[in-house]
Amino acid sequence: MQTIEKQAAEAILALLPYPKTERQARFIELGEQMGQIAAEQADKHDRNNTFPHDTFASLRESGYLALTVPVEFGGLGASLLEAMLAQERLARGSGSVGLGATMHLGAMGGLADSRSWPFALLERVFREVVSEGALINGLASEPDLGSPSRGGGFRTTAIKVAGGWSITGRKTWSTLSPGLHYGNVLLTVIEEDGRVTRGSMLVPMDSTGIRIEETWDNMSMRATGSHDVVFDNVFVRDNLRLPQPQGLQAGQVNGWSLLGSAVYLGIAQAARDFAVTFAKERVPSGLGKPIAELQTVQHRIAQIELLLLQARSVLYGAAEQWQQHPQHRDEIGWQFAAAKYTVTNHAIEITDQALRVVGSVGLLRKHPLERYFRDARAGLGNPPMDDVALTLIGKHALGVV
């Protein structure tokens, strides 16, 4: 039987080379605490296809939702790497909670870096996140659009009216919709002079004319609350129109896009941990010893360990480069796509190998492994998708514009 000291040592070794700083240790501990809370309700919300308001209340009370809000506005000021370390631990408890939190934390982290919004609005939103735990996410996908990262026009429109804009349309895959305070809505803007442009509006989700249609019934990430949001002549004031960045906002590859990959790494680690524990404790009567002593099981676990090492090294290596070499971010952007591609596909392979170790028992709903197996596959739909990532990597290597 393992001693407590040995278990603690293994836990530390699993995180190496982190934590490197006291701040990293602090965020890892916070993520671990929130992950344990998320795990308590994860199976219930997955089975019932319900949004985990209870878990997000705990995230709100702990200050976790202000993780990436700058210190000057009362937040914790976590860097990309610090936030990733916390998110990996949170996602081990619940992939759905981890992915939902990623949408919010990534938006706040990107805004903390860019400061692209008017200061008054920036300050208002940051303060509300800190004081009220306000949740924010981008609402981009639409029924006829496919992934917004691939271009195409938005059917959701904003038409100029006195004092503001009138928004009408439908958004799909609207993660966190039952708990959102604000939606950053990507849409088509009909300017006062008749010009048609892309635009973004920060829409308070308690506005008159907004309704949530509970359409979310997915195989993976069932507790993300990614329902349809319908806008019916929703009035938004002029000061809530946001600056429009260059390119496709929903498909841009940048450092903060790595935050979601930490979630899938956390899911993969949870699957590994379950398979290892199961192998140590499973003693079939016909074998008379734990299946951990079988070479076939050892080889599968070894494959999992190698895949985890590769995924973790690529992901956190890319994050460290992004932070340490800001002057070269444009040149190393392809590595963000490479990290996302690697982590997603490795997480899928890891959960598959874990299920092969455990066998058919792993398909039982009473065990979390089948949830890990399903949730890992959601990463394929998060941008950049595999074909986009491979194209970007190949073009970089070949010097093709």
| Overall domain count for the chain | 3
**Chain CA centroid to CA 238, Å:** 30
Residue 355 pLDDT exceeds 70: yes
Shared domain for 313 and 337, answered yes or no, is yes
Shared domain for 384 and 277, answered yes or no, is yes
* Tokens matching residue 137: 């996410």
Would residue 328 count as lying in a domain?
yes
pLDDT of residue 1: 43
The SS3 of residue 185 is: strand
Domain closes at, from 78, 109, 134? 134
Count of beta carbons in the 10 Å neighbourhood of residue 44: 12
Shared domain for 101 and 151, answered yes or no, is no
Domain closes at, from 134, 154, 187? 134
- Cα 25 from Cα 349, distance rounded (Å): 29
Shared domain for 389 and 287, answered yes or no, is yes
Shared domain for 97 and 156, answered yes or no, is no
The mean per-residue pLDDT over the stretch 198-227 comes to 97
Give residue 218's domain range. Answer: 139-242
Would residue 109 count as lying in a domain?
yes
Would residue 84 count as lying in a domain?
yes
Shared domain for 271 and 391, answered yes or no, is yes
Mean pLDDT of the residues in the chain: 93
First-to-last C-alpha distance (Å) of the chain: 58
pTM of model > 0.85: yes
Shared domain for 117 and 45, answered yes or no, is yes
Closest CA to 375 of 357, 396, 348, 393: 348
Residue 150 pLDDT exceeds 80: no
Beta bridge partners of 174: 227
Domain closes at, from 242, 273, 291? 242
The model's pLDDT over 226-274, given as tens digits with 9 standing for 90+, comes to: 999 999 999 999 999 999 866 544 445 578 999 999 999 999 999 999 9
Would residue 360 count as lying in a domain?
yes
Residue 14 pLDDT exceeds 70: no
Shared domain for 262 and 392, answered yes or no, is yes
Shared domain for 183 and 279, answered yes or no, is no
